[in-house]
Structure 1
Amino acid sequence: MNNQLREQEKTSISRTSIRNHKIKKSLPQNKKKWMISIAAFIIILISGHLIVKSMYTPERMVRSFEKAVSEHNYKEVSHILEEGGTRATLNENSVKAFMEYMNSSELINQVDDLVKDGAIQNAQLVDKNGNHVLTIAKGNKFLGIYQTYTISAEPFELTVTSPIDELELQLNNETTRLNKDEYEKSYQKILPGKYSLSAIYQGEYSEVEETVDLDFSKATKNKLEQELTFNVSYVQVYSNEPDAKLFVNGKDIGKKISEVEKFGPFLLNGQTIVHAEIELNGEVIKTDEVPINGKYIDLLFNTPTQNEEKTEEDGGFFAGIKDFFDRYLPESKPSTNNLEEKQFIDGLFNQNGQAFLESEEYQKKIKKKNTTQKLVSFAMKNSKQDDSGMVIVTNETYEITDKKGKTKTKSFEITYHFSRVDDELKMDRIEEVKEIKS
């Protein structure tokens, strides 16, 4: 009995020992598994961190941008530029023009230079003309850990000038208008590239529709200026009879020449004809018909002007010029005394011109000889003008009385030259004086 009990105790002790041994043996194995699991998790975490970090490097952003531009993927380029906070207008036309601009100018090959070794080396891409094209910058942090980077395109400015107002302009599917007395339009927030600008005008005397090619590779410091040079303009009409009626293509427009300050606009191709008419002494007198092919039109009547005023104190030269400008230039008024006349004449002369100096010298000679001159007739023979000035040829007749009281009549063909200063004509020289022999 006792032997059996001892055997049972031995068996129980043996089983307990085995169980305890197994427990002791399993503890290191579980610990090892946990350590392996933790190590694997750390490796996965580090790998994931490195993978995610590599997705947000500046090099990665640059490569994505270069690939999208090179493949003309305007949707991806639009997304990148929009995410970068681009202030320029983004639409299909402008983004496609921008991609072509980047590829054709080889600027796309310079984007790599903006970053190096995971850092921004140069935040701005500037071309040879000083145009700031791209900016790369730090963005928000993804998950609060990973630094992101953005690329934005800098906007350009376009200034369009026109020789006429009330013009419709169409650019990049946008229609704008130059209102009355507006000759300049500015466009902001444009992506650089090549565009077509349409100009449309419909007026009383002419219709114009032209297309101009714009190339922002010619811009400087993000600004491009485009002057519309189509052959159309307002014109100025001059005449020695400012009260004459004005006719366009044979039709009376209901205005006198003196009432027409800005006339047109017209196509300067000579297809429009103008002339003037005036009634003198019961007879209607007409000028020649003149085609409009320039900004300045002369409508001259062959009507000599008699000057009955005595000009003993004033030389015939000044009297003739004064009388001429009283008739020829709009709003010129006769003076009533010598001071007013001097101010009037001084205003017409280019003070640095040869004619001003010659006329003063001439007057000194006249006074020294104690002679007087009286202008008895003054006629416009012809004139020619352009943007720089005008040449006028006149026929002038004077009664010249010497100090002995002897009077003789002389006629001259005189050629005057006028320069255009601030849109006003200033006489600067007398080109030629020829005596007309009777």
Structure 2
Amino acid sequence: MNYCTHCGSHVEKGEHFCTSCGKNQHEEGASTKEKQSETQKVHRKPLTRKTKIIATVSVAAIILLIGTHIAISSALDPLKNVQAMDRALTDRNAKAFFNHVEVDKEALLDKDQYLEFIHQSDWESLRMQLTDEFHSEDSQPFDSTVKDYNGNDLFVVKRNTIVPGLYHSYEIEAIPNNVVASATMDKTTVNMGDHTAKVKEAGEVVELGKAYPGEYGIEGSSSNDFGEFSYQETVSVYPNDAKETEVLAQFPEETYRIETNHSDATLFINGKSTKKKLSEYQALGPFPEEEVVLHAEWKDEEGKTLQTESINLDSDMWGSLVFEFEEEEETEKEIPVYETETEYEEVESVDANMWTSVDAEEHVLGFRDSYESALNDRDYDQVAPYLEEGSKAEEDIAEYIGDLKDKGYNYEFTNNEIIEVEEKSDAVFIITTNEEFIFTNHKDEQIHYDRIKNYTVHVNGDGLKISDIDIDETERNDL
């Protein structure tokens, strides 16, 4: 097929002129094969409209795909979150910080305190760890943690796959601390914010909840036969090696021994019966801070109700609360009263025979019981009846107790034992004792004493009296 070398229109074979443009088809060189080939290349057939539309749509689609990829990659770029967190820390903007950090909705959180904690935890190091996690994303298909300088977990970085091998999203989640509670009393309720725990037994550890680093108020409440107890404290919750923070609701713990001559008596607290016998209590207490008044009631064989004096905690005798019922006392030995010294001398030998070595032993043990109270109360009058007036024993004991005033010392007698009795004459006994006690000074330093003593007990017109106390040997050990 032939074409016009000028306009490209179809020319019938054998025609010399183009019917479209009138150009002579046999000009010099125009019919050469080479020129026909060039003309064919330059004047190819125009593209159809459909082809042009397809080409345009394809190019647009490619451009759109590239743009979308760039936009998605930019939107999913985790470094933007780190940059925003960094800016929020610089501005101390807790709200902006938590726009990029996920938290446990059940955990207690003070955002401002938490932000300050992150700032104090070497944020630059934390930021570098986060950046490294994202730079090495291809080699980190699993969740990873970010730690503080003590190795405690602060954040977990979670990787979520959107398009395998192409798109991933990331979550930075703050890790809360586990908080547990215990108490020094049974049946205690512990509250921290809106978290509550029930401690059934003292010393039991129970779950209280979760909290992010910061300061939180703790409230505890409990009760016993002696009253209501409350406890308040501010505790610090921060990451630690134990992976948890324990809070302790600490109530008064002091208890008191019971001393009574009727253990089957009923205890009354603030005038109200507990419906429990004294024997049902191993000890009394703990007591709340409010004053508590106690007494006991007991019915004798005739059905008559007897009542002890009312006492409070100020009435304790060396860690004991005494419930003493007044009863008819046993007939004591009558001590004769002599009008003159001559009359006493005349019957001295007879009077001396009224007192035995057993009486002398009981006299010394009674002195020891009273001496412990006298030392701790700084009250010489409690032991004066046991000592012979004007004797060395009276002088030494009175001076020693007098020197104790305002010194803050305590004495706990743990053993008073008679180991030997010697009757020197009808009116003189030598009582040898083994005595042990714990001395506590004003610095709460304790010393254990173990002593052997010799008591000289005389019989005079007032009965048995101690005239001399000699310390034979002493062994002491620091506790």
Query: Partner letter of residue 95 of structure 2?
Result: N
Partner of 2:154 in structure 1?
133
Per the TM alignment, residue 170 of structure 1 is displaced from its structure 2 partner at its CA by 1.9
Compared with structure 1, are the counterparts of its residues 119 and 300 closer, same or farther at alpha carbon in structure 2 (3 Å cutoff)?
same
2:313 is the counterpart of 1:298: no
- Per the normalisation by structure 1, the TM-score is 0.57
- Residues of 2 paired with 1:278 and 1:44: CA distance? 99
- Residues of 2 paired with 1:218 and 1:431: CA distance? 54
2:275 is the counterpart of 1:258: no
Question: Which range is displaced more, 138-147 or 390-399?
Answer: 390-399
Q: 2:120 aligns with which of 73, 86, 105?
A: 105
Q: Any idea what SS the aligned residue of 1:24 has?
A: coil
Q: Any idea what SS the aligned residue of 2:159 has?
A: strand
| Residues 158, 226 of structure 1: 8 Å contact kept | yes
2:172 is the counterpart of 1:151: yes
- Residues of 1 paired with 2:360 and 2:324: CA distance? 17
Compared with structure 1, are the counterparts of its residues 163 and 251 closer, same or farther at alpha carbon in structure 2 (3 Å cutoff)?
same
Q: Any idea what SS the aligned residue of 1:61 has?
A: helix
Number of equivalenced pairs: 338
Compared with structure 1, are the counterparts of its residues 21 and 416 closer, same or farther at alpha carbon in structure 2 (3 Å cutoff)?
closer
- Residues of 1 paired with 2:78 and 2:65: CA distance? 22
Compared with structure 1, are the counterparts of its residues 172 and 431 closer, same or farther at alpha carbon in structure 2 (3 Å cutoff)?
farther
Per the TM alignment, residue 176 of structure 1 is displaced from its structure 2 partner at its CA by 3.1
Partner of 2:213 in structure 1?
192
Compared with structure 1, are the counterparts of its residues 220 and 212 closer, same or farther at alpha carbon in structure 2 (3 Å cutoff)?
farther
Per the TM alignment, residue 112 of structure 1 is displaced from its structure 2 partner at its CA by 1.4
2:67 is the counterpart of 1:42: no
Compared with structure 1, are the counterparts of its residues 52 and 374 closer, same or farther at alpha carbon in structure 2 (3 Å cutoff)?
farther
Q: Any idea what SS the aligned residue of 1:266 has?
A: coil
1:82-121 equivalences in 2 (<5 Å): 88-90=104-106, 94=109, 96=111, 99-100=114-115, 102-103=117-118, 105-106=120-121, 108-114=123-129, 115-116=131-132, 118-119=135-136
Per the TM alignment, residue 156 of structure 1 is displaced from its structure 2 partner at its CA by 1.4
- Residues of 2 paired with 1:242 and 1:156: CA distance? 54
Partner of 1:272 in structure 2?
292
2:71 is the counterpart of 1:51: yes
- Residues of 2 paired with 1:276 and 1:129: CA distance? 59
Compared with structure 1, are the counterparts of its residues 175 and 161 closer, same or farther at alpha carbon in structure 2 (3 Å cutoff)?
closer
Q: 1:178 aligns with which of 182, 199, 210?
A: 199
2:19 is the counterpart of 1:11: yes
Per the TM alignment, residue 102 of structure 1 is displaced from its structure 2 partner at its CA by 3.9
- Residues of 1 paired with 2:315 and 2:66: CA distance? 80
Q: Any idea what SS the aligned residue of 1:26 has?
A: coil
- Structure of greater Rg: 2
- Per the normalisation by structure 2, the TM-score is 0.53
What CA deviation, in whole Å up to 9, does each residue of 1:273-325 have, x standing for no partner?
4567889999979689451699x93135899xxxxxxxxxxxxxxxxxxxxxx
Partner of 1:224 in structure 2?
245
- Residues of 2 paired with 1:414 and 1:261: CA distance? 27
Compared with structure 1, are the counterparts of its residues 398 and 10 closer, same or farther at alpha carbon in structure 2 (3 Å cutoff)?
closer
Q: Any idea what SS the aligned residue of 2:226 has?
A: coil
Which ranges in structure 1 are unaligned for 5 or more consecutive residues? 1-5, 83-87, 304-372, 420-426
Compared with structure 1, are the counterparts of its residues 201 and 23 closer, same or farther at alpha carbon in structure 2 (3 Å cutoff)?
farther
Q: Any idea what SS the aligned residue of 2:173 has?
A: strand
Per the TM alignment, residue 146 of structure 1 is displaced from its structure 2 partner at its CA by 0.5
Per the TM alignment, residue 41 of structure 1 is displaced from its structure 2 partner at its CA by 4.4
Partner of 1:169 in structure 2?
190
| Residues 97, 195 of structure 1: 8 Å contact kept | no
Compared with structure 1, are the counterparts of its residues 183 and 261 closer, same or farther at alpha carbon in structure 2 (3 Å cutoff)?
farther
Query: Partner letter of residue 182 of structure 2?
Result: T
Q: Any idea what SS the aligned residue of 1:73 has?
A: helix
| Residues 410, 436 of structure 1: 8 Å contact kept | yes
Percent identical pairs in the alignment equals 18
Which ranges in structure 2 are unaligned for 5 or more consecutive residues? 1-13, 26-39, 326-357, 377-409, 441-446, 458-464, 466-479
| Residues 132, 221 of structure 1: 8 Å contact kept | no
- Residues of 2 paired with 1:241 and 1:413: CA distance? 27
